[in-house]
Amino acid sequence: MAELVPATGAHLLQIQHESFAIWNDGLDFPQYGRFWEAQRRTAWGGSHLDRVALVEDGTVTSSAKRYDLSARVEGRIRRLLGIGAVFTSPSRRGRGGARRLLEAILEEAVTEGYEYAMLFSEIDTAFYEQLNFVPVPLLESRLVVEREGGAPAVLVRAGDDRDIPAIAEMSAKRAEGARLALDRTEDWIRYGIAKRRLHSGLGAAGLREVEFLVTEEGHQAVAYLVSTIYHGQWFLEEAGDRDPSGARLGAMLQVMLARTPHLDAPEIRAWLPQGFVPPQVTRTDEHATGGAMMIRPLRDRTLPLPPLDAHQVVYWRNDYF
């Protein structure tokens, strides 16, 4: 007998033991377990994130994480199920377990009223294409920041919880022009930042650093960024600017670089929306992101998305699941 159940207790422990080798991301085993628990304890995670297992004859065959999300698709907000960490117990691979798990998840999602499902494929996309997922182009690029003239005169401070509403507003504004963008609620934004900080805090000291910075005007955040530093490389995980030109974000990057004038500029990378290039920044070395984003409609009456161009999609790496 096969059933789809929440992955808890012994089932969860089995999944964590078996998946640790490929997804530990620099954490040791106890921290790997804590990282998941802590995400579930955030305001967003407690009500929008879970893990399900396909149990067959009393044993977990396959499992996955589910993210209860919304996206702006062609101008309308739609419920979207994010699927992550699809995993089959090594001794049971190649026998259709992952396929049965995904079919069960998708069927349940239809019943629950989801209109789209989305995932990031770490394997050849052909497997998910058989389940009617189509790839969405996403580009990663390198940002070269103009450093002449030293630090510009903008005040940059650490971001905090009171900045989140302004950040949600900036995200919604940026999403307006896109054909596909995540609907970034305040709790989702908090979850994304908390997840980065947890990952950094649970890992080895100094391995991953996270910065959440804002620049404000009239006591309100008008530009912000969340960046991580890993092995000397910076990643701009998400950012926003009320100024459509992005000039404040560019100035913030210049301020960050001016803190270490004696060092060579680090490599900075981002999944920057196509229309969002600060005047102080040149983007180079553009290539498809590592994990291919894929989406499919779930209901007959939901039209499949016509092919999308990368410039029609807004998706930050902090929203990767």
Ligand X SMILES: CC(C)(COP(=O)(O)OP(=O)(O)OC[C@H]1O[C@@H](n2cnc3c(N)ncnc32)[C@H](O)[C@@H]1OP(=O)(O)O)[C@@H](O)C(=O)NCCC(=O)NCCS
Closest distance to ligand X from the beta carbon of 104 (Å):
12
Q: Which of 75, 318, 286, 44 is nearest to 176 (CA)?
A: 75
Closest distance to ligand X from the beta carbon of 121 (Å):
5
By the rule CB under 6 A, 91 interacts with ligand X = no
Give the residue, chosen from 17, 41, 93, 157, that forms a contact with ligand X under the rule CB under 6 A: 93
By the rule CB under 6 A, 98 interacts with ligand X = yes
Q: How far apart are CA 116 and CA 139, in angstroms?
A: 22
By the rule CB under 6 A, 42 interacts with ligand X = no
| Helix (H) or strand (E) segment spanning residue 181 | strand 180-182
By the rule CB under 6 A, 127 interacts with ligand X = yes
CB-based contact 321:65 (threshold 8 Å): yes
By the rule CB under 6 A, 96 interacts with ligand X = yes
Strand order across the beta sheet in which 139-145 lies: 156-158, 208-217, 220-230, 233-241, 268-270, 139-145, 281-288
By the rule CB under 6 A, 63 interacts with ligand X = no
CB-based contact 36:48 (threshold 8 Å): no
Q: Which of 46, 96, 47, 88 is nearest to 64 (CA)?
A: 88
Closest distance to ligand X from the beta carbon of 124 (Å):
4
Distances, alpha carbon 17 to alpha carbons 39, 66, 299, in Å? 18, 19, 36
Stretch that binds ligand X, among 117-125, 145-153, 155-163, 309-317 (CB under 6 A): 117-125
Stretch that binds ligand X, among 88-96, 200-208, 233-241, 297-305 (CB under 6 A): 88-96
By the rule CB under 6 A, 124 interacts with ligand X = yes
Q: What's the gap between Cα 110 and its chain centre? A: 23
Give the residue, chosen from 14, 24, 70, 121, that forms a contact with ligand X under the rule CB under 6 A: 121
Q: What's the gap between Cα 206 and its chain centre? A: 22
How many residues at the interface with ligand X, by CB under 6 A?
18
By the rule CB under 6 A, 3 interacts with ligand X = no
Give the residue, chosen from 40, 79, 99, 179, that forms a contact with ligand X under the rule CB under 6 A: 99
Q: CB nearer to ligand X: give 96 or 244.
A: 96
Which residues of this chain interact with ligand X, rule CB under 6 A? Answer: 22, 62, 86-88, 93-99, 121-124, 126-127
